[in-house]
C-alpha cells in the first residue's frame, strides 16, 4: 500500500479507516469493532475518530477494535472546538485517552475552529506533546488563511483534515498546493461523498465498468492520485472494507481522469471551504 509521510518523517498508509457515526447504537458496536479489526488485518492501520462521534462512543468502539494491537495502529482523534482552550484541552484529551484505553494519541486534531484563539490551542497541544499524552497535533476544517494565522507554529502542524471528494474540489485551488509547499499532508474525509449520490453518477459507473472495479473504488483512487492525501473512508461492513482495501491496486488512466474532470470540473477560483 502507498504511504504518506508527515513532517516528522513518520509514514502512514495513504488509506485509513474512518469512524463517523460509529458507536451511536450499542447493538452495532461489536460488528463495527470487527470491521475495524479486519481493516488492521488488511493494512489499514490508520484509524480516525473524534470525541464528537457518538459522543465518545466511536472512541470506545476503536478501543475494542485495537485491544491487544495498539502498536500496529496510528491513532487519530479530534477535540471539539469548545474544548480547545488552555484549561479544557487537557481534560478532553484525558477523556479520549480513557475511552480509547491507551496512554498516547498518535495525532490529535482540532475538529474545527471555534472561539478559542488558535494560538491558545497550539500552546495547549504543544504542552500535551511535551507531557507525552499525544505524539503530534494537527487541525481539521481550516482554510489557508487559518493556517497562515498559525505563523511559525505551522511547522508543528502535522495535517489539515478537510472534506475532499469529486463533488467537493474547492481545496484544490489553494489549500492542497499550500499544504504541499509546507510539506504537510492533507486528510480527506467523506472521500466517496454522502448519501450515495456521487457513486450513482454516470461518469463513475462508466469508469468502474471499464476498469472492472466499483464506483466507490474509482472515487477513492481519485483522492489518492496526488500522493499527498490520506483518505479515510468509513466502511459499512466487511465486504465494503475489503473493497476499500483493494483500492491501492487501482490505477486511474489519463482517460479516466479526463472524464472525471469533465463531469466534476476542478475549481477555477477561490471557494469557501466546504464542511460537513
Residue for cell digits 487541525?
Answer: 139
Three-state SS at 27: helix
Q: What pLDDT is stored for residue 26 in this prediction?
A: 86
pLDDT, tens digit, 9 for 90 and up, residues 81-112: 999 999 999 999 999 999 999 999 999 999 99
Q: What is the pLDDT of residues 212-245, one digit of tens each?
A: 999 999 999 999 999 899 999 999 889 999 999 9
Spatial separation of the C-alpha atoms in residues 166 and 173, rounded to whole Å? 14
Q: Is the pLDDT of residue 195 over 90?
A: no
Spell out the residues 6+ positions from residue 23 whose beta carbon is closer than 8 angstroms to its own: 29, 32, 53, 54, 56, 57, 58, 59, 60, 61
Which residues carry out catalysis?
53
Amino acid at each position: 500500500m502507498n504511504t504518506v509521510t508527515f513532517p516528522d518523517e513518520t509514514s502512514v498508509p495513504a488509506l485509513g479507516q474512518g469512524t463517523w457515526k460509529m458507536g451511536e447504537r450499542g447493538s452495532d458496536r461489536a460488528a463495527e469493532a470487527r470491521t475495524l479489526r479486519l481493516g488492521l488485518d488488511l493494512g489499514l492501520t490508520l484509524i480516525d475518530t473524534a470525541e464528537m462521534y457518538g459522543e465518545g462512543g466511536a472512541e470506545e468502539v476503536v478501543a475494542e477494535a485495537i485491544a491487544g494491537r495498539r502498536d500496529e495502529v496510528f491513532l487519530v482523534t479530534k477535540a471539539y472546538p469548545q474544548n480547545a482552550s488552555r484549561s479544557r484541552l487537557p481534560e478532553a484529551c484525558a477523556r479520549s485517552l480513557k475511552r480509547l484505553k491507551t496512554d498516547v494519541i498518535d495525532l490529535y486534531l482540532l475538529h474545527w475552529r471555534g472561539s478559542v484563539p488558535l494560538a491558545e490551542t497550539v500552546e495547549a497541544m504543544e504542552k500535551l506533546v511535551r507531557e507525552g499524552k499525544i505524539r503530534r497535533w494537527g487541525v481539521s476544517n481550516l482554510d489557508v488563511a487559518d493556517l497562515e494565522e498559525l505563523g511559525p507554529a505551522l511547522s508543528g502542524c502535522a495535517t489539515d483534515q478537510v472534506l475532499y471528494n469529486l463533488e467537493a474540489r474547492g481545496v484544490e485551488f489553494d489549500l492542497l498546493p499550500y499544504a504541499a509547499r509546507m510539506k504537510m499532508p492533507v486528510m480527506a474525509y467523506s472521500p466517496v461523498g454522502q448519501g450515495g449520490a456521487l457513486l450513482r453518477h454516470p461518469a463513475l459507473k462508466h469508469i468502474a465498468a471499464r476498469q472492472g472495479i466499483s464506483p466507490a473504488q474509482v472515487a477513492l483512487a481519485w483522492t489518492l492520485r496526488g500522493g499527498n492525501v490520506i483518505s479515510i473512508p468509513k466502511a459499512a461492513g466487511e465486504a465494503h472494507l475489503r473493497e476499500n482495501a483493494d483500492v491501492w491496486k487501482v490505477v486511474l488512466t489519463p482517460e479516466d481522469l479526463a472524464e472525471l474532470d469533465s463531469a466534476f470540473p476542478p475549481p477555477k477560483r477561490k471557494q469557501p471551504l466546504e464542511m460537513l
